[in-house]
Structure 1
């Protein structure tokens, strides 16, 4: 019975990792659609989002079945509760990629971005994909030390987001209000995608150690546990 139970936990963790990978690929395609004004890619992201939603529902159902039928305690309970929370984070990551794709589609055949900010969003897209991949790796390995390192990757996204606002506030801005609104929204979408990847990492640390790290406390001690 316990063997089957832990096999179900492993299957749930694998499903979460797969969902995270899909969300990362969705953001990668959404970024390409945004930078290239590619309607086909944008539509693909929008259509594929249903797969992430369906997997989210399946993961939640699996977690609640484990709670109801197995009455887990201690570490097993943390694993299942953490998994339910992780489902919500990954679902949101997919939704943020969807929002990027919808802006690209709405502005097609024009480009949504002025040329001078393309570099910012190319880099933010790269960082988002890297963070999604890192979160997927953490979900599969359940390594709290690797999870703690994701915060450093997120810092680069925060820096880019701040620099982007300096461009928007420049007196020489000449692209109008609509472009400024799009850029503000898009910047927020990428930043929040990264934030949710960090949340996934925090929840993995909680699953492994029973401690939930704060924003400034993703530090790993010599035993590999987060403080």
Structure 2
């Protein structure tokens, strides 16, 4: 019975790393669709999100079953509770990638990004993919130092987000209100994607040490 219990715990962790992988793929593809105005790739992101929701639902069901049937305590209890919270965060990361893809779909065949903003969003997309990959590594290793390090990458994303808003509010903005709204939303999506990755790191620290680092504001957008 205990062997099966620990096997279930391991499978729960594996599901979470798979979800991190999927979210990295989705945001990477969504960014490429954004840069290239690629409708087919945007549609693929939207469709592939179903894999995230299905895997999330199965993982949550497994976690709840473990809580109900095994009544874990101490470290095991923290592990399962943290995993449930992380599942919600990584599912939200996938949903944010879908938001990016939907803007691409709505504006197709036109490009969403005005000239001169491609490099900014290519970099934001790169950081987002890296954050999701590092979240996967942290979930697999349980290393609290690496988990805490996710915040440094988030700081870079936050800085890019602030610079984007400064450009949108500049009196010299000449791309129109519609483009400004699109870019404001896109910046928000990438910034929140990073926040959720940081939250996964916080939960890994809690799982390992029993103490939560200072809270990162995570929106529900």
State the TM bucket, normalised to the shorter chain. over 0.9
Deviates more, 1:169-178 or 1:45-54: 169-178
Matched, 1:58 2:19: no
> Aligned partners of 1:88, 1:115: CA distance in 2, in Å?
35
1:223 aligns to what? none
2:125 aligned counterpart, secondary structure: helix
1:96 aligns to what? 96
Q: CA deviation at 1:148?
A: 1.1
1:81 aligns to what? 81
> Aligned partners of 1:215, 1:59: CA distance in 2, in Å?
25
Paired residues in the alignment total 216
Q: Structure 2 unaligned segments of length 5 or more: list them.
A: 217-221
Q: CA deviation at 1:215?
A: 4.5
Structure 1 segments of 4+ aligned residues over 4 angstroms from their partners: none
Q: CA deviation at 1:3?
A: 2.1
Q: Structure 1 unaligned segments of length 5 or more: list them.
A: 217-227
Q: TM-score scaled by structure 2?
A: 0.96
2:48 aligns to what? 48
Matched, 1:145 2:140: no
2:69 aligns to what? 69
2:3 aligns to what? 3
1:181 aligns to what? 181
Matched, 1:205 2:205: yes
1:116 aligned counterpart, secondary structure: coil
> Aligned partners of 1:5, 1:201: CA distance in 2, in Å?
25
Taking only aligned residues, the RMSD between alpha carbons, in angstroms, comes to 0.9
Q: TM-score scaled by structure 1?
A: 0.93
Structure 1 residues 39 and 154, CA gap change in structure 2 (3 angstroms) = same
